[in-house]
Homo-oligomer: A and B are copies of this chain.
Amino acid sequence: MKIADIKTFLGGYFDSVELAGADDIEITGPAKIEEAVAGQVSFVSNEKYYRHIATTGASLVIVHHKAPLDDAAPGVSFLKVSDPYTAFVFLLKQFSASRRVAAPGIAASASVALSASFGRNVSIGEHAVVGERCVIGDDTVIGPNTVLLDDVTVGSGCILYPLVTCYDGTVIGDRVIIHSGTVIGADGFGFAPQKDGSYIKIPQMGTVQIEDDVEIGANTTIDRATMGSTVIEKGVKLDNLVQVAHNCRIGADTVIAAQSGVSGSVKIGRQCLIGGQVGFAGHLEIADRTSVAAKAGISKSFTQPGQAIRGVPAQLMRDQLRQEAQVRGLGEMKSKIDELEKRLQELQTSIGR
């Protein structure tokens, strides 16, 4: 792919793509700006890294229109766009070889129910299991050894990697990616306590609904609802080892980092950013665009949109940071008290009381 081709390609996404330098050099792949060598393309987005413009070994660097190129390394070409980071991501996609998760068609070793139905260009991997009445959309790939129990619906353009489990009745939208080991639709954790201290299981009769453009990491668990649906809205991104309990709703375009857990019936708004190892108590409501620092433990609802929270129990970021500073200042506070006591003692002594 020559630089001229890349300029054309990016022109499909950006109103203005300006070239500085030669356009006939062949670009063979992407690399980090500090590791790139001749023939590679890289990018600089953050001003902090502008210094690399002078030293990079790349043949092509994607930069912002405003990036200073006066000290640019000789022989390097530049393509200027309004969002170099996103432009580079588009290029990465161009250069990334598509990964083969399963061969086209239905593997002879797969176990597919006769009542299952398939769109065009579906791939079902080796030893995969597709239950009764499952519906699989066009261009979807079901990885080897993945199991769909009965009545699972998967939209078009999805990838379910190997060893995923979807329990019966799971509904998955279009362009959804689910990584290996993830379990969708297992029973919610519901038991009715009995007088003798034992429990009886509460049947989990609901299901899980995953909307379009969701990506779910590896070994994550999303439980089915007791009644109704656990819902993962459009565009949500869940990392690895995340737990979503029964009857939760995760709002569109919300991102949850690894090992976080959401207890039953929690409603999280849209476009939230949840750090890693965060925990939510049950039945809470979290407003849109809330950001939650890693390791927070949320024990009450935060209903005003756009807040940042942190800590255990979680509070507003500024309150939590002030509190953490106060705790770090405890030694000083103790010294001050000791000093006051001493001064008071001296005063009492000096005036004879």
Contacts and interface: CB of A to CB of B under 8 A. Distances in A.
A198 B254 CA distance: 9
Nearest to A295: B297
Interface stretch (A2-10, A19-27, A52-60, A91-99): A91-99
A215 to B, nearest CB: 7
Interface in A103-150: 107, 109, 111, 125-127, 129, 131-132, 143-145, 147, 149-150
A244 B35 CA distance: 23
Given A30-B205, A326-B331, A347-B348, A100 B132 contact: yes
A323 B333 contact: no
A76 interface: no
B197 A221 contact: no
Given A92-B203, A221-B217, A235-B198, A150 B277 contact: no
B95 A205 contact: yes
- Most B CB contacts (10 A, CB to CB) among A182, A197, A295 go to A295
Interface string A185-203: 0110101101001111111
A261 B261 contact: no
Given A149-B101, A261-B276, A89 B322 contact: no
A229 to B, nearest CB: 12
A347 B353 contact: yes
A32 interface: yes
Interface of A: 30-32, 35, 85-86, 89-90, 92-93, 95-96, 99-101, 107, 109, 111, 125-127, 129, 131-132, 143-145, 147, 149-150, 161-163, 165, 167-168, 177, 179-183, 186-187, 189, 191-192, 194, 197-203, 205, 213, 215, 217-221, 223, 227-228, 235, 237, 239-241, 243, 245, 252-253, 255, 257-259, 261, 263, 270-271, 276-277, 279, 281, 294-295, 297, 312-313, 322-324, 326-331, 333-334, 336-337, 340-341, 343-344, 347-348, 350-351, 353
